Amino acid sequence: MADAKPLPELQALRRRLADEEASYEQALAELDRTAAAALPDDATADTRELLRELNELWTPAAGPRASGLTAGIARRAWDALGPALERQSRFNAVLVRLLNAQREQTAAYHARLGELAAALVGYAQRVEPVVDARDDVRIARAPTEAQQQLEIFRSRLEQADERLAGLLALRDRIEALSEEVRALRDGLAAGPPPPEQARATARAAADSAYTAFENRFRGSRDELRSRQQGYLELLRGQAPVVDLGCGRGELLELLRDAGIEARGVESNASAVQECRAKGLDVAPGDLVAFLEQQAAGSLGAVFAAQVAEHLEPAQLMALLAASHRALRPGGLLVLETVNAASVLAFFDVYVRDLTHVRPLHPETLRFLAAAAGFSDARIELRSPVSEDVKLQLVPTGGLAPPVVKALNENVARLNELLYAPVDYALIARR
């Protein structure tokens, strides 16, 4: 099989690479020529001869030997006038020739240095294109091993994401089915059910999906019991207590263990069935209707956690009015809900639940309670956000320049807005 012709782009790259390598070889040749050139201090034979002759001329020659006054005068005259003039002339001529030779050698060496400098500058200007040309040729021939590994990793990561999404969906489905099976099992535990019990079991199975939703996002039963533990002292001495929308019955279990009389009301049939399986007194049905059926002044406390945000405004007003009528004087109303004044709570908690009707600002709920006749209505913030989630202040080391102080003050304001406690409780007296 004949070899395929290289792509035009690859041929151009190869030609460019050949040109660049030729430039590289030229620069090396210029460098070798310069290295081989004689330095000005490297004396040639001609230079050495000139230096020898110059040195001889520089040494004064011995004059004629004579005795007496006449001979001394003659010798001094010779030394001063004759030979000195001749030797000085020859000395000057040799010195000029030596300096000329030295200048020529120096000029030649400087020329070679200039040629080398020009060659190196030209090569330096082309070094980067050489590297680029070589890289382009290598990339054009085949992807590098690193690129191949990255592609493999990216593909596997995408597959892992798809599998993870599938596993999360499967987990959600399994949790919902588990609650549905539990509801059916609890309904059939007593044997063949009468028609009404069968219908209640069917409703419980239908409501089990929302129970699974609460298990996931509101917290496990143990987590919820731990959060509601703080209400025990508030409700102690307020029996009988009614827990509106009691859910899975965590507060009712706490009240029972503390010896506080309490019962619950729940519209979710699956939750009612679970509570009754635990031996808790829970009635199914509408919360407002249940309160309206209670004798006036017969209750010590009305409690509702994460219920108010599920009600339409008219239902909420009716619940407040029915609670005020059913409570005895001094009775306690406790309504816990999502803190709409917290950005984190609104976007991470409130909007997640499709059954939420509208958010309730703390001041709104307190106003509505006062309008319904309750006194001493106050707001208690609950479920604070962990400090490591909040925006961090700039360390000052004891010194706070004005700009840092202003920045930290703004960070504190943002934390109050973004990361205020997730929940709050309205606590009001009849």
pLDDT digits (tens, 9 = 90+) for 149-208: 677 767 777 776 666 666 555 555 555 555 555 555 555 555 555 555 555 555 554 555
Instruction: Specify the pLDDT at position 1.
Output: 46
Range in 325-334, 346-355, 407-416 the model is least confident about: 346-355
Average pLDDT over residues 267-294: 90
Please classify residue 153 by burial: count the beta carbons closer than 10 Å to its beta carbon, then call 0-12 exposed, 13-18 middle and 19+ buried: exposed
Instruction: Specify the pLDDT at position 320.
Output: 96
Residue with tokens 């499967």: 170
What's the chain's average pLDDT? 77
For residue 215, name the pLDDT band (cuts at 50, 70, 90).
low
Range in 60-74, 158-172, 292-306, 370-384 the model is least confident about: 60-74
For residue 297, name the pLDDT band (cuts at 50, 70, 90).
very high
Closest CA to 403 of 390, 391, 416, 394: 394
Average pLDDT over residues 290-301: 95
pLDDT digits (tens, 9 = 90+) for 98-155: 777 776 777 777 777 777 777 776 666 666 565 566 656 565 555 556 666 677 767 7
* CB half-sphere exposure, 126, CA atoms < 13 A: 18
Range in 189-193, 276-280, 281-285, 332-336 the model is least confident about: 189-193
Backbone angles phi, psi at 247, to 5 degrees: 60, -130
With a cut of 70, say whether residue 43 has pLDDT above it.
no
Instruction: Specify the pLDDT at position 78.
Output: 58
Average pLDDT over residues 64-89: 63
Instruction: Specify the pLDDT at position 119.
Output: 73
Range in 21-25, 288-292, 403-407 the model is least confident about: 21-25
With a cut of 70, say whether residue 267 has pLDDT above it.
yes
Is the full-model pTM beyond 0.85? no
Q: Find out whether 345 and 416 touch, Cβ atoms under 8 Å.
A: no
Instruction: Specify the pLDDT at position 300.
Output: 96
With a cut of 80, say whether residue 306 has pLDDT above it.
yes
Average pLDDT over residues 65-89: 63
Instruction: Specify the pLDDT at position 429.
Output: 93
Backbone angles phi, psi at 422, to 5 degrees: -70, -35
Max intra-chain CA distance, the chain: 169
Q: Find out whether 303 and 426 touch, Cβ atoms under 8 Å.
A: no
Average pLDDT over residues 337-363: 87
Range in 116-125, 194-203, 254-263, 266-275 the model is least confident about: 194-203
Average pLDDT over residues 234-256: 94
Instruction: Specify the pLDDT at position 133.
Output: 62
CB atoms under 10 Å from CB of 418, counted, come to: 16
CB atoms under 10 Å from CB of 87, counted, come to: 16
Among 88-92, 142-146, 260-264, 401-405, top mean pLDDT goes to 260-264
Tokens of 203: 């409703």
Bond preceding residue 421 cis, omega within 30 of 0: no
Average pLDDT over residues 370-374: 93
Average pLDDT over residues 338-359: 86
Q: Find out whether 38 and 106 touch, Cβ atoms under 8 Å.
A: no
